[in-house]
DNA sequence: CTGAAAGCGCTTACAG
DNA sequence: CTGAAAGCGCTTACAG
């Protein structure tokens, strides 16, 4: 029953060759004689051999695993965004035999990730949703570990990242509102100490100016539903006919506030969100919103990471994707 | 810069002891002399030593990693349920230094998982959402690998699983509807070839009978939003004042159909869902629903799994959790 | 309580 | 193209 697993040694014995040759066949080294290869392959399948990864890792100095690091707040974990990232990463690393290890950073620091890296259990790391103050990106790059960020870092630094063109997304929203006849724009921004918050506001402002519209109303939110509601309340008494909310979740908080004020959406105010997350579909009315190609972005992150694991000397890169507009009933 | 990482050997040299002694200190073996231990600890911290996990795995025959296996359909991945599972598992395995590896089963089979297991990259596996026909549970248990299922298997088999008392959840819903004055119950079931679908229907029927209510209306759904809408349409022309929908997602499909028929919720029909997933909060009106203690259940899965990794001789166990009712505006 | 030594299962120069 | 041999960095009986 629980007999020891088959080793390379055994396969070699059955095939009547050296361990080195079996190893070469297993790893697809091209120089092996065709006939010998077949003998070995037969021995592998009759013995049911599977290579022990720990032994291989020990000599190759490769864990064969990359980490996906999420902030522990739960927010991210329960966000469909997370699932989309996983869907994007999987298809690129799996064919390479690379495992995806999930890590959440503990409040007390990042000991988990750092340990996994120091113990060589992780060849590289994809970092999701780091705050500006997060020391982890620097910690890891300084340790010479391949790292890819899921967004532009707050402060410029030498690091590889993938992002969506946030400003272009905001512009998409404004163009659409203008197209629908809006002349008095307003926005509920994200937190302005986050790159996404900053960039979406900048894109909004630039597009508003480009269309020759009056100075827009701007209130700051924090990407949460409650923050959206609070921001919408601060808009009470103001006059506007188009509202760009920098995240769908905030929009679901803002919508009821508008309704209570007697404003109909989209008749009196047209609303556009950002993210195309599930709340956008479920809220009433369903939300027109800016969508990021998250799966594609995640696949690109994986590709960049794997590349840097293979070739640590590769220079940093940043790849920026174009957002798209998803039109629903709120506009 | 990229100098070789510190090894046990080096620490031993610095501390003036043997590798065996350093190993014992690292692994917390109690029998080491107090003074020696301190010397070694100092050497570890001055050298910045971190044990190489591949080397350890090779001799201990433990990967130090468990797999979380999800069906590849995307459904699960984008479901907040998934995030809740991860939140539950993490706190129990992390302090043990065990990694969580994410795997989705490929449509063509389960080669990924099976390979990871055969290569000893995974010590055990948590299986989420397996269908009745899924060969994976049997495949893995026959290979003598510790496995924990996230639900009762469709066909009885010798396996460890954690579940919620589905029937009790349905009964909770019925009791609540009756409490709110409903006398004519109806239900939209899950797929009846799935344990959850079966058990929720059984619990519903038993509770209806217990309350002495008339024979209820029963239409089968499939746990999807569209399935919920379709089922609700099949209810057209029927008279009922309480509707138990076997998943929140189906309820979000059913709600608009009821509204189009001129039925007000909760005035004309009271509706109770199942899962307490995010759609329950976002739909209109917010849904009264049956909640599973997913985080607790996931933590228990992790505990059972780890236990079986340590002691493979442990007999199978099944743990069933009690559901709770979350009351919102739909009832 | 501590150390010398064997061994875990691979890969990879190095010869030939 | 193939094999003998060294070595990756640990743990763990086994003596003492």
Condensed to tens digits (0 to 9), the pLDDT of residues B306-316 reads 999 999 889 99
Cα–Cα nearest to B318, from B165, B213, B181: B165
B303: its two tokens: 């505990």
Cα–Cα distance, A213 to A205 (Å, whole number): 10
Percent of chain A scoring above 90 in pLDDT = 69
B254 within a domain of the structure (yes/no): yes
Helix (H, G, I), strand (E, B) or coil at A123: coil
Instruction: Dump pLDDT digits (tens) for B130-168.
Output: 666 778 888 888 888 899 999 988 888 899 999 999 999
The answer to whether the CB of B280 falls within 8 A of the CB of B67 is: no
Answer yes or no: do B155 and B207 share one domain: no
The pLDDT value given to residue A72: 66
Residue B259 forms contact with A (CB below 8 Å): no
CA distance B187 to chain A (A): 22
Residue B50 forms contact with A (CB below 8 Å): yes
B328 within a domain of the structure (yes/no): no
Report the CATH number that the domain containing residue B36 is assigned in CATH. Answer: 1.10.260.40
Which of A77, A121, A252 has the CB atom closest to B83's CB atom? A77
For the segment B48-53, the average pLDDT, to the nearest whole number, is 94
Q: Which residues are within 8 A (CB) of B164 and not within 5 positions of it... i.e. 6 or more apart?
A: B292, B293, B297, B320, B321, B322, B323
Cα–Cα distance, A221 to A219 (Å, whole number): 7
Are residues B101 and A101, on separate chains, in Cβ contact within 8 Å?
yes
Burial B2-15 (b: 16+ CB within 10 A, else e): eeebbbbebbbebb
CA distance A94 to chain B (A): 8
Cα–Cα distance, B215 to B220 (Å, whole number): 16
Are residues B120 and A144, on separate chains, in Cβ contact within 8 Å?
no
Helix H or strand E segment including A188: strand A185-189
Tell me phi and psi for residue A264, to 5 degrees. -95, 140
The pLDDT value given to residue B73: 61
B59: its two tokens: 């001799």
Cα–Cα distance, B191 to B198 (Å, whole number): 8
CA distance B53 to chain A (A): 6
The pLDDT value given to residue B132: 63
The pLDDT value given to residue A107: 62
Instruction: Dump pLDDT digits (tens) for A40-93.
Output: 999 999 999 999 999 999 999 999 999 999 876 656 666 778 888 998 999 999
Instruction: Dump pLDDT digits (tens) for B268-296.
Output: 999 999 999 877 887 778 999 999 999 99
B-chain residues near A249 (CB < 8 A): none
Answer yes or no: do B211 and B273 share one domain: yes
The pLDDT value given to residue A126: 95
Answer yes or no: do B177 and B159 share one domain: no
Cα–Cα distance, A240 to A235 (Å, whole number): 9
B109 pLDDT above the threshold of 60: no
Nucleotide nearest to B12 (CA to C1'): C3
A191 pLDDT above the threshold of 50: yes
B-chain residues near A65 (CB < 8 A): 99, 101
Identify the sign of the CA torsion A15, A19, A20, A25. Answer: positive
Cα–Cα distance, B75 to A289 (Å, whole number): 22
DSSP B127-163: E-S--TT--HHHHHHHTT--EEESS--SS--S-EEEE
A327 within a domain of the structure (yes/no): no
The pLDDT value given to residue A74: 57
Answer yes or no: do A112 and A216 share one domain: no
Give all strands of the β-sheet with B242-245 in edge-to-edge order. B217-220, B185-189, B242-245, B270-275, B288-291, B324-326
Residue B7 forms contact with A (CB below 8 Å): no
A328 within a domain of the structure (yes/no): no
Cα–Cα distance, B99 to B62 (Å, whole number): 12
Answer yes or no: do B183 and B275 share one domain: yes
Instruction: Dump pLDDT digits (tens) for B194-249.
Output: 889 999 999 999 999 999 999 999 999 998 888 999 999 999 889 999 999 999 98
Q: How many angstroms separate the CA of A58 from the C1' of C14?
A: 21
Answer yes or no: do B156 and B301 share one domain: yes
Q: How many angstroms separate the CA of A114 from the C1' of D13?
A: 33
Answer yes or no: do A153 and A87 share one domain: yes
Answer yes or no: do A74 and A150 share one domain: yes
The answer to whether the CB of B187 falls within 8 A of the CB of B213 is: no
A331 within a domain of the structure (yes/no): no
Give all strands of the β-sheet with A217-220 in edge-to-edge order. A217-220, A185-189, A242-245, A270-275, A288-291, A324-326
The answer to whether the CB of B216 falls within 8 A of the CB of B186 is: yes
Answer yes or no: do B86 and B126 share one domain: yes
For the segment B183-189, the average pLDDT, to the nearest whole number, is 97
Judging by DSSP bridges, how do beta strands A99-105 and B99-105 pair with one another?
antiparallel
A102 within a domain of the structure (yes/no): yes
Residue A7 Cβ < 7 Å to strand C: yes
B2 within a domain of the structure (yes/no): no
Report the CATH number that the domain containing residue A204 is assigned in CATH. Answer: 3.40.50.2300
Burial B34-57 (b: 16+ CB within 10 A, else e): eebbebbeebbeebebbbbbbbbb
The pLDDT value given to residue A73: 61
- Cβ pairs A/B, distance under 8 A: 128
Instruction: Give me the residues paired with residue A222 across strands.
Output: none
Are residues B120 and A80, on separate chains, in Cβ contact within 8 Å?
no
Helix H or strand E segment including B21: helix B19-26
**A262 — pLDDT class (breaks 50, 70, 90):** very high
Instruction: Dump pLDDT digits (tens) for B5-48.
Output: 899 999 999 999 999 999 999 999 888 889 899 999 999 999 99
| Lookup result for tokens 């032994």 | A55
Q: How many angstroms separate the CA of A140 from the C1' of D10?
A: 25
A220 pLDDT above the threshold of 50: yes
B329 within a domain of the structure (yes/no): no
Instruction: Dump pLDDT digits (tens) for A143-167.
Output: 888 999 999 888 888 999 999 999 9
Q: Which of A133-137, A221-225, B87-91, B109-113 shows the lowest per-residue confidence on average (mean pLDDT)?
A: B109-113
The pLDDT value given to residue B75: 60
Q: Which domain holds residue B276?
A: 166-291
Percent of chain A scoring above 70 in pLDDT = 95
Answer yes or no: do B122 and B108 share one domain: yes
B-chain residues near A92 (CB < 8 A): none
Answer yes or no: do B147 and B80 share one domain: yes
Q: How many angstroms separate the CA of B23 from the C1' of D13?
A: 15
Answer yes or no: do B178 and B276 share one domain: yes
Are residues B54 and A65, on separate chains, in Cβ contact within 8 Å?
no
Residue B29 forms contact with A (CB below 8 Å): no
Residue A26 Cβ < 7 Å to strand C: yes
Q: Which residues are within 8 A (CB) of A158 and not within 5 positions of it... i.e. 6 or more apart?
A: A141, A316
Are residues A99 and B54, on separate chains, in Cβ contact within 8 Å?
no
Helix (H, G, I), strand (E, B) or coil at B331: coil
The pLDDT value given to residue A1: 39
Q: Based on the structure, what is the number of domains in chain A? A: 3
């Amino acid at each position: 029953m629980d007999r020891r697993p088959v080793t390379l040694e055994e396969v070699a014995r059955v095939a009547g060759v050296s361990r080195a040759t079996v190893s070469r066949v297993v790893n697809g080294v091209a120089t092996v004689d065709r006939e010998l290869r077949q003998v070995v392959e037969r021995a592998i399948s009759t013995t049911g051999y599977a290579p022990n990864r720990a032994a291989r890792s020990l000599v190759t100095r490769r864990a064969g695993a990359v980490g996906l690091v999420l902030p522990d707040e739960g927010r991210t974990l329960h966000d469909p965004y997370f699932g989309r990232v996983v869907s994007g990463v999987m298809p690129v690393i799996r064919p390479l035999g690379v495992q995806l290890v999930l890590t959440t950073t503990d409040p007390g620091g990042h000991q988990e990730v750092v340990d996994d890296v120091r113990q060589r259990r992780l060849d590289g790391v994809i970092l999701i949703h780091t705050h500006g103050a997060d020391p982890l990106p620097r910690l890891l790059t300084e340790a010479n570990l391949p790292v890819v960020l899921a967004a532009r870092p707050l402060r410029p630094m030498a690091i590889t990242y993938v992002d969506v063109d946030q400003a272009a997304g905001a512009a998409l929203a404004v163009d659409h509102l203008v197209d629908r006849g809006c002349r008095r724009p307003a926005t509920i921004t994200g937190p302005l100490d986050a790159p996404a918050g900053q960039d979406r506001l900048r894109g909004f402002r630039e597009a508003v100016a480009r269309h020759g519209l009056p100075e827009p109303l701007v209130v700051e939110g924090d990407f949460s539903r409650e923050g959206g509601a609070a921001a919408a309340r601060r808009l009470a008494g103001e006059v506007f006919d188009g509202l760009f909310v920098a995240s769908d979740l905030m929009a679901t908080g803002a919508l009821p506030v508008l309704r209570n004020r007697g404003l109909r959406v989209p008749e009196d105010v047209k609303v556009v969100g950002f993210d195309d997350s599930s709340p956008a579909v479920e809220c009433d009315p369903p939300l027109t919103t800016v969508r990021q190609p998250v799966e594609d972005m995640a696949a690109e992150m994986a590709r960049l990471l794997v590349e840097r694991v293979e070739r640590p000397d590769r220079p940093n890169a940043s790849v920026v994707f174009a957002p798209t507009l998803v039109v629903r009933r709120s506009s």
